[in-house]
Amino acid sequence: MKYVIGIIQPDRLDEVLKRLTEEEINLVTVSNVLGRGRQKGVAQVYRSHKEQGSLLKKIKLEIAVNEAFVERTVKAITDGAHTGQIGDGKIFVLDLPECVRIRTGERGNEAIG
């Protein structure tokens, strides 16, 4: 199993979720993060004090999937989040040795979906 982490632009979330649904990847965990990447932040101004604002709002997705779904997941995220502009984000794929569904106590591949 793999643990897929995606960092995307906030306004691409809806699109990514739609693509994931189309691929029947319904289970996903989402959170707010700030990212520093190649994208230059816009300088914020407070009473003429400029704040470089290098940390930009991003959305983080976490999706645990079986091996068979990894590429589909990556593709769904990429398709939904891609705009071709700097700041589009990254996907990280980690190994996931174990997974437990709290409700049933199931483990492994059965638990993940």
Partner 1 sequence: MLATWDRSIRPAGEARLVIGVLGALAVLGGTAAVARAGEQAAAAAPAVPVPARVDSGDTAWVLVSAALVMLMTPGLAFFYGGLVRRKNMLSVLMQCLMLLCLISLQWVVLGYSLSFAPGTGLIGGLKWLFLSGVGLEPNADYAATIPHQVFMMFQMMFAVITPALIIGAFAERMKFSSLCVFMLLWATFVYDPVAHWVWGVGGFLRQWGALDFAGGTVVHINAGMTALAAALVLGRRQGYPEGISPPHNLPFAVLGAALLWFGWFGFNAGSALGAGGLAGSAFTVTHIAAAAAGLTWALLDWLKHKKPTTLGMITGAVGGLVSITPASGYVTPAGAICIGIGAGLIPWVAVTYIKAALGYDDALDAFGVHGVGGIWGAIATGLFATKSVNPAGADGLFYGNPVLLWIQIKTVLITVVFSFVVGLVLLKLVQACMGLRVSEHEERVGLDLALHREAAYTVID
Site residues (vs ligand ADP, CB under 6 A): 7, 27-29, 35-39, 56, 58, 62-64, 86-90, 101, 103, 112
C-alpha atoms less than 13 angstroms from C-alpha of 104 in its C-beta half-sphere:
9
Footprint of partner 1 on 38-77 (CB under 8 A): 42-51, 53, 55, 57, 59
Q: Is residue 13 involved in binding partner 1 (CB under 8 A)? A: yes
Pick the closer one to ligand ADP by CB: 39 or 78: 39
Per-residue burial over 59-86, b = 16 or more CB atoms within 10 Å of its CB, e = otherwise: bbbebbbbeebeebbbebbbebbeeeee
Q: How many residues bind partner 1 (CB under 8 A)?
A: 23
